Amino acid sequence: MRRLGLLVLGLVAGATTALAAQQSIAARLSGRASPEIVTLVQDLGSSAASRGLPVDPLIQKAIEGNAKGVPSERVATAVRLVYAQLDTAAAALRSAGLNSPPDTVQVAAGGFAITAGLGGRDIAELARTGRPAAAVTVGLRVAGTLAALGVPPTEAVTLVSASLRAGQAPGDLLALPGRVQSEMARGATPAQAAAGLARAAAAQARHGPPPHPGPPPHPPAPPHP
């Protein structure tokens, strides 16, 4: 009897949470999407939430389409595509055998990387670097940004993986797109720029970071008269 009570309580709580989520989606899309898009995002949002996928990217895409004056049918297609990309990213992260299931922030980062041109295998490879989840999340965003710059996915993943394995700080990872752009401005192709940086990161992983320049040595004491 007590178990049945707990089960009912759980079902009611779940239904309440789902209803609240639907109302939240409707509120965020109020005046920013057509009724059919609101319904679609609510449906996909419920499914996403139950599967551990982030809902925000679906809402953002619906709002973006409306702001850009895109017809509803095309917005619907784009929202469904975002859902599929998030699903692919989550599956790839799970396949990497992480200790804990991917959180929605990490899945959103993976979804962005897939939008930018990476594949599920690329996502899994980055997740397998053994770095903390927060670092992998930054790595996914950076890899997607590199792909958005024109770096082929393989080179983008190689560079970010090497940087992650070298233990580079998030700030260093985030600087990679700018460094690739600098090399491109000097005439390198995106692939060449990324490959060069990847070699340096791999060397750093093997030999450790270059020595940090310390403070200048004290000047010698002036001779006593």
Partner 1 sequence: MTKSEFDPQVKQLLDGELTLADLPAELRQEGEEALRLLAAVDREPLSLPAVTWRVMATLERRRQRRLTWLLAPALAAAAALVLWFGRPANPPAAASSAMVTVRFVLVAPGAHQVSVAGTFNRWDPSATPLVRSGSADVWVATLSLPPGQHQYAFVVDGVRWVPDPTAPAIDDGFGRRNSVLTL
Residue numbers at the binding site for partner 1 (CB under 8 A): 32, 60-61, 63-68, 70, 74-75, 77-78, 81-82, 109, 112, 115-117, 134, 141-142, 144-146, 148-150, 169-172, 174-175, 177-178, 181, 184-185, 187, 189-190
Neighbours of 164 (CB within 10 A): 25
Minimum distance of partner 1 from residue 116's CB (angstroms): 5
Classify residue 55 by its DSSP letter: S
Minimum distance of partner 1 from residue 124's CB (angstroms): 19
- Which residue number, 18 or 154, has a Cβ lying nearer to partner 1? 154
Q: 63: buried, middle or exposed (CB in 10 Å: 19+, 13-18, 0-12)?
A: middle
- Which residue number, 63 or 91, has a Cβ lying nearer to partner 1? 63
Minimum distance of partner 1 from residue 42's CB (angstroms): 18
Helix (H, G, I), strand (E, B) or coil at 201: helix
The counts of H helices and E strands in the chain are: 10, 0
Minimum distance of partner 1 from residue 16's CB (angstroms): 27
Q: How far apart (Å, rounded) are the C-alpha atoms in residues 81 and 85?
A: 6
Give the HSE-up count for residue 49: Cα atoms under 13 Å, Cβ half-sphere: 18
- Which residue number, 22 or 57, has a Cβ lying nearer to partner 1? 57
Q: How far apart (Å, rounded) are the C-alpha atoms in residues 17 and 65?
A: 27
- Which residue number, 18 or 150, has a Cβ lying nearer to partner 1? 150
Minimum distance of partner 1 from residue 218's CB (angstroms): 26
- Find, among 106, 101, 149, 148, the residue nearest to 126 by Cα: 106
- Which residue number, 50 or 182, has a Cβ lying nearer to partner 1? 182
